[in-house]
Amino acid sequence: MPDPILAMRSVAGTHGGLKPPPSGRTIVDVRGHSALRAIPVVLTIGLLAGVARAGSVERTGPGTGPLGGSRAVIVSHSALLHTAQVFATDGAGQIVAGLDELGQARLAWGNLGQLLGAMGSDERKIVRLNVVVTDVAAGVAMRRVLLEALSPSERPSVTLVEGALPLDGSRVALDVVALGAEASAGQPAPDSTTLAWLPGLRAASRIEAGPRVYISGRAADGTPADAAADVLRQIDRTLQFLLLDRQSVIQLKCFLRPVSAAGEVHERIAEHFLGEPPPVVFVEWKNRQPIEIEAIAQAASLPDRPTVQYITPPWDRASPIFARVVRIDHPASIYLSTVNGRTPNRGDLQVREMFDDLSVLLSEVGSDFRHLAKATYYVADERSSVALNEVRPEHYEADRPPAASKASVRGTGVPGMQLAVDMIAVPSK
């Protein structure tokens, strides 16, 4: 197998000799059986050298971001938890009937807190909150819950998008990135029936502080399930090129049409991962192909490697507007909240305004366009989609655009806004 490092488009300096702590992932296993009350916590330990350092969190613009969240959150030297989606489900894993959007938002938030508690974390340690709502009213309800639950100094960065949800009757879906506690095999596990909206669902996984990989979305044709199987093979090929395996995958995000096919898609994912899938998030999209899947994976520590590497596998064509893979070996991650632009109902103007606002925000948090790792673009009309392709080359250097997915969606959850963009960056120094 060729050394993937030789094929990388590599830039930036090394991270000053930081050695990450041991890698691995801890997974809360939610099997979806009502009789199951105890859920095993599985810890896989890698062999990366080094000593863990105390984690830190810095929040920029607390209380002024989307839904009252922070505009950005910087987390350093910390293991992180990535969850699957959590809904307003009851003890049977079903949406509680009769709840309005505020009731659902409160129950989903409570279920999320239960999950995080089982992993040794809590709501105050969330660094990125991803919210999918069925309409603007549900987004307003989620804002109220967030304002009630957390003080401004505790609020995460927030991603907000609008669309149908995979669980019938649901109005809001939440998934998060949160600080992880020290791994402990003795951690309690949540009641599976509160979270088990899909059989075999894995509710959360843990990525250790250290190198990580963002794999851009891959798409395929066919039925949603068959297309998913095709995409998973594509991701496997990329992992092999990076000298990684399936067990390194921390989370998958599926952009899906129709989103009601989530169950059959997850079955294929579970089969592909031999019954041990990572957490999966589903977002409805309206693109031509039925599915696109992106991945986050833990990477091995490699000596004397650049902080940020923009990688094109040899069978792929390099693009000036997105990288096929971005590998990060930096102790800090910067989670930027959704940026929408400013001029209502003008997606083309919103794109340019978004990049202007993003430039200011990146400067505030000590980064820039040359240190973006991952971008997710949600577009609700053709004008904003076309403008994104035109404007991105004006801001990205051709050999270092972020890994990305661009999804055509029903809405952004913000009236008049046809564009929603969230990103992950690293400090420029």
- Banded pLDDT at 21 (limits 50, 70, 90): very low
Mean predicted confidence (pLDDT) in 323-351: 97
Q: Which string of b and e fits 237-268 if b means at least 16 CB within 10 Å?
A: ebbebbebebbbbbbbbbbbbebbbbeebbbb
Options 3.30.9.90, 3.40.50.880, 3.10.20.310, 3.30.1330.40; which CATH number does 61-208 get? Answer: 3.30.1330.40
Q: Is 70 exceeded by the pLDDT of residue 31?
A: no
Residue predicted with more confidence, 327 or 119:
327
Mean predicted confidence (pLDDT) in 283-303: 95
- Banded pLDDT at 54 (limits 50, 70, 90): low
Q: What pLDDT sits at residue 183?
A: 53
Q: What pLDDT sits at residue 2?
A: 40
Residue predicted with more confidence, 94 or 29:
94
- Banded pLDDT at 195 (limits 50, 70, 90): low
- Banded pLDDT at 194 (limits 50, 70, 90): low
Decide the pairing of beta strands 41-45 and 80-83: unpaired
As given in the structure block, the two tokens for residue 61 are: 């613009």
3-class secondary structure per residue, 285-350? CCCCCCEEEEEEEECCCCCCCCCEEEECCCCCCCCCCCECEEEECCCEEEEEEEECCCCCCCHHHH
Considering the chain, what is the average pLDDT of its residues? 86
Percent of the chain exceeding pLDDT 70 equals: 84
| Stretch among 143-152, 297-306, 326-335, 338-347 having the lowest mean pLDDT | 297-306
Q: What is the CA radius of gyration of the chain?
A: 20
Q: What pLDDT sits at residue 189?
A: 47
| Stretch among 15-29, 32-46, 393-407 having the lowest mean pLDDT | 32-46
| Stretch among 42-51, 300-309, 318-327 having the lowest mean pLDDT | 42-51
- Every domain of the chain and the residues it spans: 61-208
Mean predicted confidence (pLDDT) in 68-95: 94
Could you count the other beta carbons within 10 Å of the beta carbon of residue 310?
Answer: 27
Q: What pLDDT sits at residue 305?
A: 84
Q: What pLDDT sits at residue 10?
A: 37
User: Which residue type sits at 241?
Assistant: F
Q: What pLDDT sits at residue 199?
A: 86
CA distance linking residue 184 with residue 231, whole number of Å: 34
Task: Specify the 3-state DSSP secondary structure of 215.
Answer: strand
Instruction: Classify residue 153 as exposed, middle or buried by CB count within 10 Å of its CB (0-12, 13-18, 19+).
Output: exposed
Sign (positive/negative) of CA torsion 404, 357, 420, 252?
Answer: positive
- E strand or H helix at 229: helix 224-241
Q: What pLDDT sits at residue 55?
A: 78
Mean predicted confidence (pLDDT) in 400-408: 97
Q: Is 80 exceeded by the pLDDT of residue 34?
A: no
CA distance linking residue 88 with residue 107, whole number of Å: 5
Q: What pLDDT sits at residue 238?
A: 98
Q: What pLDDT sits at residue 301?
A: 85
Triad 300, 305, 308: Cα angle to 5°: 90
